[in-house]
Structure formats: C-alpha cells, structure tokens
C-alpha cells in the first residue's frame, strides 16, 4: 500500500508543488489553504512555529508560485509599454519632455526602471524563494529515490496490475534462481529473500527528475550570478569620440550588487564613423535600411586596436561584455562666443529624435560659462527641413537639408548650486527668453544675441550612436541549466520506472508455482503490458529450458499467462 | 509574456505546470539580465544623464595605500602631464566636467583650496571629462581656477586607475602622497574643510 502511495506521488511529479515536505496531516493543513480554516479548527492552536510552517507551505505551494508568476508577467508589462532608462534613456527623456507632470510621478513608481524596481524585485524574490522551497526538498527526495533498493515483493502478486502464473517441474529454489537470472540479465536492480525476488528498472526516470530539479536550481543560481556580478550601462557616442568602460564614462551605469568599479572590463571603443542608409523612394521611403557603426576598440589600455562593424543585433563582444547598438541620432556642433568675445562653448551636442520618420530631434545647449550671463538654448534639428503650412518639419531621416531652429535664453541655468539636472532639459525658471528671429540656421550660420550677450554658430553636425553595454556572467550557465532541465524532463517522460516481482512456491510434488507480478510507477508513454508479457515469456522459456527432463510437457500445459490490464 | 499564457493554462495539468515552472525560470533569467541592480545608481529620479558620485570620503593609512598608476596626458593648454613626475609632492587630482552641477558647486572651494595651499608642497590637477577644450577653459575662467587640468576625452585617466581606485562618479577627488600612493579619496563634491583636513593629514605624513 505504501508502495501505491509513492506511485501516486511519483506520477504527480511537479504538479503537487510541495508534496515532498508535506506528508500526512501537515499536508492536510496546507491543502485547507486558508487561514480561517486553519485557525477555525478546534484543538491545538498554531504557535509561532506553526504559523511560520504554514506561511512557508503557502509560499512554496504551486498556487502561490503561479500567482507570483502571473504577477511577474503583469509587472513587466509597463516595461514594454513605457520607455526604460536601462534600454533607451533617450526615449525616457523624450517622455519627460512630452509628459512633464506625469513623468516624475511614473519615475517615483520606478516605472521607467521596471526591472530594477523594488516592487518588481519583491515579486521575483518571492517567486525565487517559492521555487527554491519547492525544488530543494524535491531534489533531495529524488536523490534518495535514485539509490533506493526495490521494495519487498507483495504477498499476493495477483493484486498487481500485471500478473501471470504458471507451474514448472523443478524445485522452488532452483526455479527462483533461474527466474532471477533472467531479471539480472535484463539489468533489473534486484532484491531477494526467501521465496521471492523483487526487481526494479528505469531509475533513469528518477535520475531525469533529479537532473531537472538540480538544473532548475542551477538556473536560479545562474540568475542570481547575473544579478550579483553582472552590470549594464549605456553610452551615447558621437562620431570621432572614444569612451572607456568605466563608471564615469557611462551615461547610465547599473552594477550588480557585488560589482565594484574595478570589476569593469577595461576596454575602450572609438566610433570612427556611423552610417545609416534609408529607402530613398517608394512607399517605404524613409524606412531605415541599415545602420553601421564602424568602431575600433582595445580590450585593455595599451592593447592592440581592432576594428568592428557594429550593427543592430550584431553586438561587439569584448571579454564577455556585449556592446549593442541601440539607437542613433544627430549632434549639431555648436560654438558660442559670449559677450566678452571669449569662446565659452564649442562642441557637438547630442539631440534626441522626437519622431522616427524624419528624425526631427530635440536638444538643449547650456553655456554655463558664458559671460556676462549664462546662456541656454532649446532647439530642434531637422535633417531634411521642409515647410508644412508655415511649420517646420523633417521629410527624411538623412541629413539632406539640415536646419537648426533655436530658442535662446539668458539668466541662471541653475547648474551652479550643485543640484544635478538632465543634460537634455533646460530649466528656464530663472532665465528669460531672448528676442531672436526664429529663422532656422543652416550649417555655418550664426545668430547674434541681443544686449551684447554674444553669438551662436551652428558649425555643422555629427552623427551619434547609443550603446547598451551588458555583462551577464549568468547567461551561459543559465542556458546550460535550461538545456539540462529540458534533457532531464525528456528523460523522465520517456523512461518509466517499473518493478517485477517473482514468487515461487513448491507445489508439494517436486514442481513449483511461479507467480510473476509487474507494476510501473509512471507509464506516461504506455506499453508496459507488452514489456511485462515479453519478460514473463522469457522467464517461462528460461525455466522450461533448465527443467531436469525437458521432454515432459507438463509445464507448458499448466502455464496460464493472464496478462490482465487494470 | 509567454510565461503569462503558460502559467494561466498550467494550473490544470501537471505536464503544463512543469513547463510553467520552466517558463518562470526563463522569465527570471530575462528579468535578472535587466534587473540585477536593485540599489544601483538610480539616474532616473533626477533624470540626468551621467553617473553622479554620491558623497563619501576615505582616508587610507600609510600601510594600506594603493599605488597610483602611471598617468600621462595633455593639459587644456597643451602641456604634457605625467603623474610620475609629481613624485615627492602631494597631489590633489580632481575629476570634473563643466556640465556637471556638483562639479560647478565644488569648483570655488577647489580654487580657494589651491590658493590656500600655495607655497605648501601640494600640487592641484584637474581631469576634465567629456568637455571640449574651449568649454573647459571657459569653466576654469569662470571659477578662477589656475591649476592645470588634463583634457581626457577618451577616459584614459579614469581607465588608468582601473585596477586601483577608478572614480565611481563625477566629481571625484584623489589625494596622492609624496611616494605616489593614493592617500585619500572623496566621491561626490568636496567640502572646503573636509578636503583641507585630508590634505593636511597627508602633508603631515612622513612618507
């Protein structure tokens, strides 16, 4: 009977999430499933330990895991609906610009950083615990199952799903020895005693189960490995610029818990030339054809320089770190001469695309060191400027007719009081707008600011690409674990564990009655009846062959092989 | 999202449940790839786009000072700079950028400190990050900074410190003792008295 129970548990497999730890009455409490029922019972009250046990059972139950899984999926929806800081910081800045009141609120709820949000971490840590709490005891149980000897043969084999009985004309001990030899030849694991032999086969089923569970743990560990030792970063790189993989050079840096700045692989990447090509005509006009970032890189300071062509989904791999091309845009080169005649600003300023069809881009230029007053400019860069009913727009993403339209401000940029602000937004609270003709600038053109505040020149433009830098040491282990888990799963589905029992009793006249019984623990694939019939036949043939006077047909006639199904 | 669908069906049948668990784990892997950092530098709240130093100040006892790396470069005025050539003097090395608000706030303090220690055996240097030369020179002029800054558009200086104490963010300040070892580090903007005390302490040291 105990045997039957374990059969059920074995078949249920993972469906019964915490089956390994909750036998008997404890399982009943867990099954009751609600606090009211558990406390509503008269009798011994649940103490602190009892409540902890109950809580643990709830957490590690299949239902909780599924609810958490559902929550996890639900929680990642905003991650695909809203722009994410870690994936596309430029898009987040755009969102800030488009929804100035809503964006800070969403940021407070970590909705621009869903996968790093505390509430997201809470869900996956709970799910993590839930899974580990399920898998660990189960793996332990399977590990024990792999080494277990077969159980004793039941007294009445006739009660088993598969049975057969026949008589042979030889002493019982001799018949049992011959029959056992057959099972041994068929590589059954054997256990014998007075008058019976039990054999079991298909431990690979259990091994597969164990493999699956261990691999699942491996998967969890790999994920933790990535979370602890991995890191992510973003960097916007303008044509001709070089950056090094060090925190100060990254626009966004998200290290794992145990990542120190000196753990970053010390490579450098130089963007030699970014090129984008677009469909020039037809209905697809303006659609991107290809992006290519021709880079040269060194894997360590002073190391040899190599070249690579970065393309979308064609990352650069340096020392296990992947560098992805995730975006591109324009950076107008701006030169500002202030009121004292001093050049106080001269560099490219990355503008962020605000629409994709024409790549109109928005950006700000802050000149905090202009004298006598700080200067600020908010502008739109139009790669192919056209006039649509008096409004400027860009008709094509390539820079065919580039124009820069600016609004100028003077006053206090709010940068000197130490409060960090985005390089993509201009705080105009303490500034005043300057009366400047809204004439879009062509490369080389300037605007002269009123009140002797200086002059701005639109020198030209360069292209930039944005990069996502990812290091996840858990990636390969996770893949291997997933594959192993799959292999274990397949093994446990394909291989059934089955038991054969033989009982031999003397018939009092020198012959023996041989009873054969068979049982399978998990016959997902089916077909055990056939194997049982074959084995029985083999045993019968073997016994007859070794009969003292094989000419006598008595055994043959007496054989009653009744393979009855369930 | 496949995890969602699978889990919804998975409750009913064991085989599907197994797949749901597997899907969950795979989903984990995805989540963790992008969500490893729970307490990381969160740029989001302020929306700025650079890695900002959070204030911390560390003094290293003479026995436990990491050796500063060899640093060479060109200053904003085109002079050659070598950190090794400063051996025998206390060096204050400040990483800054003209666009960085905390750098702008600490700049007057650094300028004042460099004047305060004029005549003492202390040399101030800046490492200018992600600025063009004219923009950086305008910064120096604004704040009356007279000590030289290395122009480091390719992050070579920060990278040189890779195996010792790479700057965690900007601003970030190192005090290097007379034998070329890192004696103190401030991440985030310096306070006048705080940095002065650190420099005095290093000056007083025998080494």
CA atoms of B33 and B192, how far apart (whole Å):
41
Scan residues 505-564 of A and list those with Cβ closer than 8 Å to B: none
**Does B131 touch chain A if contact means CB atoms closer than 8 Å?**
yes
Contact B34 A87 (CB under 8 A): yes
Q: Report yes or no on A31 lying in a domain.
A: no
Task: Flag if B159 and A368 touch (Cβ within 8 Å).
Answer: no
Is B158's Cβ below 8 Å from some Cβ in A? Answer: yes
Q: Are residues A17 and A92 in the same domain?
A: yes
Torsion of CA B145, B147, B153, B159, to 10 degrees: -130
How close A423 comes to chain B (CA, Å)? 6
Mutation to test the A interface, candidates B20, B47, B130, B144, most A Cβ within 10 Å: B47
Q: Do B24 and A478 touch (CB under 8 A)?
A: no
CB nearest B18 (choices: A250, A266, A489): A489
Do A98 and A178 belong together in one domain? no
Within an 8 Å CB–CB cutoff, is residue A219 touching chain B? Answer: yes
Q: Which residues of A389-417 are buried (b: 16+ CB within 10 A; e: fewer)?
A: eeeebbbbbbbeebbbbbbbbbbbbbbbe
Q: Please give the Cα distance from A278 to A291 (Å, whole number).
A: 9
Task: Please report residues of A whose CB lies closer than 8 A to that of B100.
Answer: 420
Chain A residues near residue B14 by CB distance under 8 angstroms: 12-15
CATH number, domain of A547, equals 3.30.310.80
Per the omega criterion (within 30 degrees of 0), is the bond before A484 cis? no
Q: Where are the domains of chain B?
A: 2-35, 56-204
Q: What pLDDT, on the 0 to 100 scale, is given for residue A34?
A: 42
Q: Could B132 and A12 be called an inter-chain contact, meaning their C-beta atoms sit closer than 8 Å? A: no
Residue A43: inside a domain: no
Domain presence at residue A124: yes
Residue A524's pLDDT is 56
| pLDDT band (50, 70, 90) for residue B13 | very low
HEC profile for chain B? Answer: CHHHHHHHHHCCCHHHHHHHHHHHHHHHHHHHHHHCCCCCCCCCCCCCCCCECCCEEEECCHHHCCECCCCEEEECCCCEEECHHHCCCEEEEEEECCCCHHHHHHHHHHHHHHHHCCCCCEEEEEEECCCCHHHHHHHHHHHCCCCCEEECCCCHHHHHCCCCCCCCCECEEEEECCCCEEEEEEECCCCHHHHHHHHHHHHHCCC
Query: Within this chain, do residues A239 and A112 fall inside the same structural domain, yes or no?
Result: no
Q: How many CB atoms lie within 10 A of CB B77?
A: 11
Residues in chain B closer than 8 A to A66 (CB atoms): 7, 10-11, 20
Q: Which of A108, A220, A419 sits opposite B25 (nearest CB)?
A: A220
Is residue A181, in this structure, part of any structural domain at all? yes
Q: Are residues A371 and A297 in the same domain?
A: yes
Contacts of A65 in chain B (CB under 8 A): 21, 24
Q: How far is B182 from chain A (nearest CA, A)?
A: 15
- Of the partner residues B99, B156, B165, the one whose CB lies closest to the CB of residue A366: B99
Q: Which residue has the tokens 């610009």?
A: A97
DSSP state at residue A257: T
Contacts of B48 in chain A (CB under 8 A): 420-423
How many C-alpha atoms does A73 have within 13 Å on its Cβ side? Answer: 18
On the question of pLDDT at B115 being above 60, the answer is: yes
Are residues A194 and A257 located together in one domain of the fold?
no
Judge whether A256 and A226 are in contact, CB under 8 Å. yes
Residue A35 lies in a domain: no
| A248 and A309 inside one domain | yes
Q: A167 and A308 in one domain?
A: no
* Domain membership flag for residue A272: yes
Do A258 and A323 share a domain, yes or no?
A: yes
Q: In what order do the strands lie in the sheet with A268-278?
A: A242-244, A268-278, A288-298, A306-310
Homologous superfamily in CATH for domain B56-204: Glutaredoxin (3.40.30.10)
Asked if A329 and A394 touch (Cβ cutoff 8 Å), the reply is: no
A168 in the same domain as A136: no
CB-CB contact of A310 with A293 (8 Å): yes
Inter-chain residue contact B7 with A66, CB threshold 8 Å: yes
Per-residue pLDDT averaged across B68-84, rounded?
94
* Closest-CA distance of chain B to residue A223, Å: 5
pLDDT along chain A (566 residues), means of 10: 36 36 38 43 72 87 85 86 74 80 88 84 84 81 81 89 90 91 92 91 84 83 86 94 92 86 92 94 89 95 93 93 95 96 95 92 96 95 93 94 96 87 88 90 96 95 96 93 93 87 88 91 72 92 76 42 39
DSSP for A468-511, please give it: EEEE-TTHHHHHHHHHHHHHHHHHHHH---EEEEEEEEE-SSS-
Of the three residues A415, A437, A471, the one that is the final residue of a domain is A471
Does residue A41 form part of some domain?
no
Number of domains in chain A: 3
Instruction: Examine the pLDDT at B135 and tell me if it is beyond 50.
Output: yes
B-facing residues of A in 422-461 (CB < 8 A) are: 422-425
- Looking at beta carbons, which residues of chain A come within 8 Å of B76? none
Closest by Cβ to A248, choosing from B51, B104, B160: B51
Chain A contact present for B200, CB below 8 A: no
Strand partners, A384: A401
Looking at the fold, whether A194 and A245 belong to one and the same domain comes out as no
pLDDT at residue A95, as a whole number: 83
Please tell me the predicted confidence (pLDDT) of residue A208: 87
Pick the residue with more confidence: A305 or B44? A305
Min Cα separation A297/chain B (Å): 12
- Contact A472/B at CB under 8 A: yes
CA nearest B106 in A: which residue?
Answer: A418
If asked whether residues A256 and A361 sit together in one domain, one would say: yes
Q: Give the residue from chain A lying closest to B24, CA to CA.
A: A69
A 233-262 residues with CB < 8 A to B: 236, 241-244, 246-257, 261-262
Q: Are the beta carbons of A385 and A402 closer than 8 angstroms?
A: yes
Q: Which residues of A touch B94 (CB under 8 A)?
A: none
Contact between A518 and A497 under an 8 Å Cβ cutoff? The reply is no
Give the C-alpha separation, A220 to A127, whole Å: 10
Is the CB of B165 less than 8 angstroms away from the CB of A347?
Answer: no
Tokens found for residue A244? 């090094």
One domain, residues A432 and A511? no
Surface of B (67-126) touching A: CB under 8 A: 95, 98-102, 104-106
Other C-beta atoms closer than 10 Å to the C-beta of B128 total 27
B159 chain-A contacts, CB cut-off 8 A = 244, 246, 266, 268, 301
Cβ-contact A464, A332 below 8 angstroms: no
Q: Do A72 and B24 touch (CB under 8 A)?
A: yes
Q: How far is B170 from chain A (nearest CA, A)?
A: 6
Q: Does A265 touch chain B (CB under 8 A)?
A: no
Q: What percent of chain B has pLDDT over 90?
A: 59
Tokens standing for residue A523: 């016959």
**Which domain, by its residues, includes A91?**
2-21+60-147
Measured between beta carbons, the chain A residues lying within 8 angstroms of B39 are 257
């Amino acid at each position: 009977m105990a045997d039957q129970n374990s059969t059920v548990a074995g078949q249920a497999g993972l469906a019964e999430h915490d089956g390994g730890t909750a036998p008997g009455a404890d399982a009943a409490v867990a099954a009751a499933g609600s606090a009211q029922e558990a406390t509503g019972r008269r009798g011994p009250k649940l103490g602190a330990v009892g409540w902890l046990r109950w809580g643990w059972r709830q957490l590690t139950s299949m239902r909780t895991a599924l609810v958490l899984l559902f929550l996890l999926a639900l929680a990642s929806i905003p991650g695909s609906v809203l722009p994410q800081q870690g994936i596309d910081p430029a898009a987040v800045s755009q969102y800030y610009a488009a929804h100035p009141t809503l964006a800070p609120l969403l940021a407070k709820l970590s909705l621009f950083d869903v996968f790093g949000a505390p509430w997201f971490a809470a869900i996956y840590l709970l799910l993590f615990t839930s899974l580990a709490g399920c898998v660990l005891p189960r793996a332990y149980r399977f590990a024990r199952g792999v080494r277990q000897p077969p159980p004793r043969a039941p007294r009445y084999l006739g009660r088993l799903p598969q049975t057969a009985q026949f008589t042979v004309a030889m002493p019982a001990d001799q018949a049992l020895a011959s029959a056992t030899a057959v099972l041994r030849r068929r590589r059954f694991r054997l256990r014998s005693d007075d008058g019976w032999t039990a054999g079991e086969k298909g431990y690979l089923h259990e091994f597969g189960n164990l493999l699956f569970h261990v691999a699942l743990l491996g998967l969890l560990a790999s994920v933790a490995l990535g979370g602890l030792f991995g890191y992510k970063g973003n960097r916007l790189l303008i044509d001709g610029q070089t950056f090094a993989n060090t925190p100060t050079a990254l626009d966004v840096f998200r290290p794992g818990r145990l990542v120190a700045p000196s753990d970053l692989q010390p490579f450098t990447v130089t963007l030699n030339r970014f090129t984008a090509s677009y469909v020039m005509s037809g209905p697809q006009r303006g659609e991107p054809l290809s992006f290519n970032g021709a880079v040269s890189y060194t894997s360590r300071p002073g190391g040899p320089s190599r070249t690579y062509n970065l393309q979308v989904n064609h990352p650069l791999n340096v020392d296990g770190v992947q560098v992805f091309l995730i975006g591109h845009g324009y950076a107008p080169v701006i030169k500002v001469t202030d009121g004292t005649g001093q050049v106080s600003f001269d560099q490219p300023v990355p503008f962020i695309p605000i629409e994709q069809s024409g790549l109109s881009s928005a950006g700000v230029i802050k000149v905090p060191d202009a004298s006598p007053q700080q200067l600020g400019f908010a502008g739109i860069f139009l790669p192919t400027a056209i006039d649509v009913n008096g409004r400027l727009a860009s008709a094509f993403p390539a820079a065919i007719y580039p124009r820069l339209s600016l609004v100028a401000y003077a006053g206090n940029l709010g940068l000197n009081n130490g409060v960090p602000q985005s390089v993509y937004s201009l705080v105009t609270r303490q500034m005043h707008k300057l009366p400047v003709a809204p004439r879009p600038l062509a490369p080389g053109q300037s605007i002269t600011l009123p009140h002797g505040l200086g002059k701005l020149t639109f020198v030209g433009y360069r292209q930039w690409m944005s990069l996502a830098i990812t290091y996840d040491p858990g990636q390969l282990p996770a893949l291997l674990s997933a594959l192993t888990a799959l292999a274990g799963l397949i093994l446990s589905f394909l291989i059934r564990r089955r038991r054969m029992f033989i009982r031999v009793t003397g018939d009092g006249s020198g012959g023996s009655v041989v009873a054969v019984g068979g049982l399978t623990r998990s016959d997902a694939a089916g077909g055990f009846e056939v194997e049982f019939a074959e084995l029985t036949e083999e045993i019968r043939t073997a016994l007859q062959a070794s009969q003292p006077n094989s000419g006598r047909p008595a055994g043959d006639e007496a054989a009653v092989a009744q393979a009855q199904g369930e | 999202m496949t995890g969602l669908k699978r889990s919804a069906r998975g409750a009913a049948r064991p085989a599907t449940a197994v797949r749901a668990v597997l899907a969950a784990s795979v989903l984990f892997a995805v989540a963790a790839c992008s969500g490893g950092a729970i307490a990381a530098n969160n740029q989001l709240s302020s929306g700025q786009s650079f890695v900002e130093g959070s204030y911390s100040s560390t003094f290293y006892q003479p026995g436990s000072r990491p050796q500063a790396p060899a640093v060479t470069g060109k200053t904003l005025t085109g002079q050659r700079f070598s950190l090794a050539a400063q051996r025998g003097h206390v060096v204050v090395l400040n990483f800054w950028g003209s666009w960085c608000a905390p750098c702008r706030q600490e700049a007057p303090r650094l300028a004042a400190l460099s004047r305060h220690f004029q005549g003492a055996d202390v040399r101030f240097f800046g490492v200018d990050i992600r600025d063009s030369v004219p923009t950086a020179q305008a910064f120096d002029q604004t704040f009356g900074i007279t000590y030289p800054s290395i122009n480091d558009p390719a992050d070579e200086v920060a990278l040189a410190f890779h195996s010792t104490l790479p700057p965690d963010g900007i601003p970030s300040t190192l005090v290097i003792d007379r034998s070329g070892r890192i004696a103190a580090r401030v991440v985030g903007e310096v306070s006048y008295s705080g940095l002065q005390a650190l420099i005095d302490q290093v000056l007083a040291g025998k080494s």
